[in-house]
Amino acid sequence: MASTLERPATPPRLSATSRLRLAAAVGAGQLAATLSRIAGKGSGVSVRGQVMTRIDPDALTKLLQGRRIAAVSGTNGKTTTTHLLAAAVRAGLGPRDADRVVTNADGANLHYGIASALSQSPRADIAILETDERVVADIVRLGRPEVLVLLNFSRDQLDRNHEIKKLARSWRDALAAAGDDGPVVVANAEEPLVVWAAKAAKHVIWIDTASTWQEDAIMCPECGAILLRRNPHPETGDPGDWDCPACWMSEPIAVIRVENGQIVDRHGVAHDPQLQVPGGFNVGNAACALAAAEQLGVGVTDALAGMRTVTSPAGRFATTHFGTTSARLLLAKNPAGWHEALPLLQSDTVVLAIDAVAADGRDLSWMWDVNYEQLAGKKVIATGPRAQDLAVRLAYAEVECTVVPDLATALTDRGEHVDVLSTYTPFQKLRKLGGLA
């Protein structure tokens, strides 16, 4: 399929007063962002959006208008999937039209971050937006996205999102309210909560991502019954298709699926994605991005070529140096993320960094659902403000570790290559220490 990325229809023009107010908001936000960077307080992305929306509360709504929008959400993988989709769309456009795309590439995915990103590319007519789970309903309502990618639902930051079905219900209600004006949804068929929410959409493209994590998919979101698994494959780790014995809920038949590390498209043709980001879970993310790109008008060949250019989205999987230490940085924020990332730790020495401030989630009980036993035999260094908590969990897993609370000390001048797996806050600090941010 060739790429045919049409421009959107011309939106209704804003009044002169409305345009002036938005322009003033954008200018003030830009000044705030600049001052934030000069003061060493951060990139200024979030404060730009905060100032803008304080001056013009309708700034986000205005900035969303007149664009073809694809939104990506889910507990895990949304940053990487957004990068993959944006790269696919740029490849479909070609180098001369690549500036038609705007995306929040730094991962600022709440209202402020999205508004901030859009304000920097007012002429871009295609927006690929990473969207926090709590923001999906507003983006559907305010932006009328053309495509909505729903990846997964897992326990994450339990003090903030302690009831993930409430989030799923907000997705479901927003899609139902949008009706025929709502987005085409690209949805992970292996996730019961995603299926339950996506069923309200006008049209759904189901994806089988070949995920092996099922601990957050035990009960039926419709009736509460325990889900059954059909045809599991213990040797491959495939948990099998899920089915509710008490109601209509059952795993949908996927249009696009992942098999043996390849993406099988809607015509049954297998494609080797040849991604530069590791892990089977990223092949699943690429399958979702491919379906969304096709929906926007990008051909399979162009889409895959674009996705192969993605190397380290927002620092994930990047390699940097701390003195004589070469370190590859991986991010995992919850049990599902750690489950997927731990097998990628190939170095003899691994560093696990952990904290429990607001951005990480203050509840660390999730550590007891992670199979740290697979690290036996490796030299493990626990670091970060909550390293002692992690050391206790590792002790129960019979994994020996050295506790070095200071991040820089844990990594600097070890004279070897190490893989580093970190929760969100230490990950951002490591990016800065390693010169990546």
Q: Which residues are annotated as a binding site for Zn(2+)?
A: 220, 223, 244, 247
How do beta strands 401-403 and 184-188 pair?
unpaired
Cβ neighbours of residue 392 under 8 Å, at least 6 residues apart?
none
Q: Kindly state the tokens that stand for 38.
A: 């000069």
User: Contact 254/168 with Cβ under 8 angstroms?
Assistant: no
Cα 316 to Cα 428: distance, rounded to the nearest angstrom: 10
363, 389, 413, 419: the active-site residue: 363
Kindly report the CA angle at 48 between 423 and 118, in degrees rounded to 5?
90
- The residue with tokens 């994605």 is 273
Q: Kindly state the tokens that stand for 314.
A: 């927002």
Cα 48 to Cα 196: distance, rounded to the nearest angstrom: 36
Is 97 among the catalytic positions? no
- The residue with tokens 């995603």 is 194
* Count of helix runs (H) and strand runs (E) in the chain: 14, 17
Q: Kindly state the tokens that stand for 410.
A: 């844990």
Chain-centre distance of CA 363, in angstroms? 21
156, amino acid identity = D
- The residue with tokens 């009736």 is 223
Q: Kindly state the tokens that stand for 210.
A: 């070949």
**CA nearest neighbour of 350 among 386, 367, 374, 333:** 374
Binding region: 220, 223, 244, 247
- List, edge to edge, every strand of the sheet that includes 147-150: 101-103, 126-130, 68-73, 147-150, 184-188, 203-208, 256-259, 262-264, 270-271
Q: Where would I find the beta strands (DSSP E) of 189-318?
A: 203-208, 228-230, 241-243, 256-259, 262-264, 270-271
Q: Where would I find the beta strands (DSSP E) of 6-159?
A: 68-73, 101-103, 126-130, 147-150
DSSP state of 314: G
Q: Which residues are catalytic?
A: 363
